[in-house]
Chain A
Amino acid sequence: MMRSKAVWFTLVVLAGGLFFAAVSLPFGNPAMSDMDDYFIVHGQEQTGANNIVTSIVFDFRGFDTLGEACVLFTAVSGVAVLFRHRKKGEDYEYE
């Protein structure tokens, strides 16, 4: 009983703190917008792409996209290992 009260107290305090943090942020008026402005102003001339999102994803942050592609490859490899066909009497040894 004591423990569930403590859990509820912690949850309420956490929710209140997060709500306060979310409300106190100035929405739509970020203090640091230099990078956004740079992308919006120079994105088209530096990458040639009309779609600024694509110019960021595939040019400014291309390394990030390479990582994403590797994540997808790793996920497919994991599924392939999980669902591969096993022979009838095949035994597994895990070390």
Chain B
Amino acid sequence: MSDSMSKLIRTTADVMFLFITVFGLYVVLHGHLTPGGGFQGGAVIATGFILLIVAYRLDDFLAWFKKSTFQSCETTGLVVFIGTALAAIPLGYLFFMNFLNGAEGLFGQAVSYGINPGVLNTAGTIPIMNIAVGIEVLGGLSIIILYMTSGIRSREEGE
């Protein structure tokens, strides 16, 4: 991991990173309408970051994104997820109750039953939990590869 890859690979990684991230965001945000969801979309976005880590040197990558960013991503995702689940209790519902569904607020548009293409602004707390899990998985998988890559580097330097 001491050298970055060739210019061809680096340019391809630069270009593909954008598309991979956009596709991952699409999978996360449309988790309640199309196949996919938080886990899958988060893994797709993390793949983009891992592509950058592999194509560039680790120091270059760490100059763009800090390790603590991914760590706080993971923690934020978990806290938002369980916070959404816990928020139902003060409002008088059970734990993990979908209290936003059909409430005409955020993600609260009433869904039309039967086979339909679907509206993004439906499904209550499910999109919020999808986004939370997506953020968590993106941070978690990226930080795993970051730790492993820095482990390789410190061994190559011979301590």
A→B interface (CB under 8 Å): 44-51, 53-55, 57-59, 62-63, 65-66, 68-70, 72-73, 75-76, 79-80, 82-85, 88
Majority secondary structure, A binding face: helix
Contact A69 B81 (CB under 8 A): yes
> Contact residues of B with A, CB < 8 Å?
31-35, 37-39, 74, 77-78, 81-82, 85, 95-96, 98, 101-102, 110-111, 113-114, 116, 118, 122-126, 129-130, 133, 136-137, 140, 143-144, 147-148, 150-151, 154, 159
28 A-B residue contacts at CB 8 Å?
A44-B111, A44-B113, A47-B124, A49-B33, A49-B126, A50-B33, A50-B118, A51-B32, A51-B34, A54-B31, A54-B126, A55-B32, A55-B126, A57-B37, A58-B32, A70-B78, A72-B140, A73-B74, A73-B78, A73-B136, A75-B144, A76-B74, A76-B140, A76-B144, A79-B143, A79-B144, A83-B151, A85-B150
Residues of B with C-beta under 8 A to A54: 31-32, 37, 123, 126, 130
